[in-house]
Amino acid sequence: GGSAMAAVRDVEIDPEGTFKYILVRLQCPGGGEQRDIVRGTKAAEFHNHIFEKVNPEMEKLGYECKCLGGGKIEHNSKDKKIRVFGLSTGYGKADHSVTVEILKKEYTDYEITWSDDKK
């Protein structure tokens, strides 16, 4: 139970550039422990491509996944800045403030901001 969920990384995003991201809630079947993770990559043309990759991985570990929404991430590793913005047509807008809190756990020395801007 708990140990497998701890092995799942909070954040997996590309090291540089602007790309789509989703906020995903993991839950143990039948309730109990849950946590939110951030996944984003330039390789995904659409938000559901990210979810279609994450979902089977998490199901293998025994979690149910739910996409809480999406947006875009602009990752500037040189200046150590991350900007979270935009929305997903299919999943709606993620709560970017939640995303920022998760990103701060991983990127402790970054300036991380969010807005509802489309671009």
Binding site annotation covers 78? no
Q: Is 47 a catalytic residue?
A: yes
The candidate with the shortest Cα–Cα distance to 54, out of 40, 73, 42, 43, is: 40
**What value does the CA radius of gyration of the chain take, rounded to a whole number of Å?**
14
Residue with tokens 């540089």: 16
Compute φ and ψ for 11, nearest 5 degrees: -135, 130
Pair 18, 63: CB distance under 8 Å: no
**Residue of 47, 49, 75, 96 with catalytic role:** 47
**Which residues are catalytically annotated?**
47
Residues in the annotated binding site for substrate: 20
